[in-house]
């Protein structure tokens, strides 16, 4: 947060590397090692927000951005609120919204959305409702069983089964050795090389 002549403001880092949404639209699903690189830091950022009593409220592939070096950033904190605050409208973006949400901001909303983004990054599509979702093991058999399990736990309807974001980060990091994300398909043509 910074003070401006218009009042308090948020200083954000430029993300010329594009979004996870643009990357997957341009490349298709990512290999597990690139998913680890892209999403483990996001899970860690959510864990930090949650520890500070805040909820993001709209974790989506479009809100996960990259610097030119490939560092992932969690954007669009405009929907963030204090834990327990009531929401004036449904929380999140269709496909990444918690179906078990009671309209209040709680960490389960972010954890569900994080798992939905993991599913999207691995498969190229949003997970859909539990009863219509094919097993991740059939779609992406190379995913570590522990990672599959935590994604399913996070997507499950009972919010009390969902692990905290820090545990998601730990399992992501243990599931594969991170490798640099190939951002070329996500970077807008107006961004000069080396920016």
CATH of the domain at 108: 1.10.510.10
Q: How far apart are CA 171 and CA 178, in angstroms?
A: 12
Structural domain includes residue 46: yes
Residue spans of alpha helices (H) in the chain: 20-27, 32-51, 107-123, 136-139, 145-155, 165-175
Name the active-site residue from 58, 98, 144, 153: 58
How does DSSP classify residue 2?
Answer: E
**Would you say residue 41 lies in a domain?**
yes
Q: How far apart are CA 139 and CA 142, in angstroms?
A: 9
Identify the top-confidence range among 8-22, 90-104, 144-158, 163-177.
Answer: 163-177
What is the token pair recorded at 182? 């190939």
In a domain, 157, yes or no: yes
- Across 2-16, 40-54, 57-71, 107-121, least confident range: 2-16
How many structural domains are present in the chain? 1
Q: What is the mean pLDDT of residues 132-140?
A: 92
pLDDT in tens, 160-182: 778 999 999 999 999 999 999 99
pLDDT band with cut points at 50, 70 and 90 for residue 159: confident
pTM of the model: 0.85
Average pLDDT, stretch 145-150? 96
Structure tokens at 160: 């009390």
pLDDT for 149: 94
Report the pLDDT value the prediction gives residue 162, as an integer from 0 to 100.
87
**153 is known as an active-site residue:** no
Q: How far is CA 37 from CA 6, 29, 34, 46, in A?
A: 37, 14, 5, 15
Which domain, by its residues, includes 66?
A: 15-175
Give the orientation angle of helix 145-155 with respect to helix 107-123, to 10 degrees. 130
Is the distance from CB of 72 to CB of 127 less than 8 angstroms? no
Token pair of 180, please? 């640099």
In a domain, 56, yes or no: yes
In a domain, 79, yes or no: yes
Could you report how far apart the first and last alpha carbons of the chain are, in Å? Answer: 25
Residue 150 lies in a domain: yes
Whether the Cβ atoms of residue 124 and residue 46 lie closer than 8 Å to each other: no
Report pLDDT for 90.
Answer: 55
| pLDDT bucket at 82, cuts 50 / 70 / 90 | very low
In a domain, residue 39? The reply is yes
């Amino acid at each position: 947060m910074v003070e401006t002549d218009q009042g308090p403001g948020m200083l954000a880092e430029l993300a010329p590397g594009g979004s996870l949404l643009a990357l997957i639209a341009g490349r298709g699903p990512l290999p597990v090692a690139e998913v680890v690189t892209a999403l483990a830091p996001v899970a860690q950022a959510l864990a930090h927000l949650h520890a500070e009593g805040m909820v993001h409220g709209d974790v989506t592939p479009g809100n996960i951005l990259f610097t030119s070096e490939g560092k992932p950033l969690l954007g669009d904190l405009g929907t963030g609120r204090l834990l327990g605050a009531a929401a004036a409208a449904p929380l999140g973006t269709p496909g990444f919204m918690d179906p078990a949400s009671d309209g209040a901001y709680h960490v389960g909303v972010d954890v569900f959305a994080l798992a939905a983004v993991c599913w999207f990054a691995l498969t190229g599509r949003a997970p859909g409702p539990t009863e219509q979702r094919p097993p991740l093991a059939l779609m992406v058999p190379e995913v570590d069983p522990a990672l599959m399990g935590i994604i399913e736990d996070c997507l499950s309807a009972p919010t009390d089964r969902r692990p905290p974001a820090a545990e998601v980060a730990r399992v992501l990091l243990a599931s594969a050795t991170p490798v640099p994300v190939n951002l070329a398909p996500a970077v807008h043509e107006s961004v000069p090389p080396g920016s």
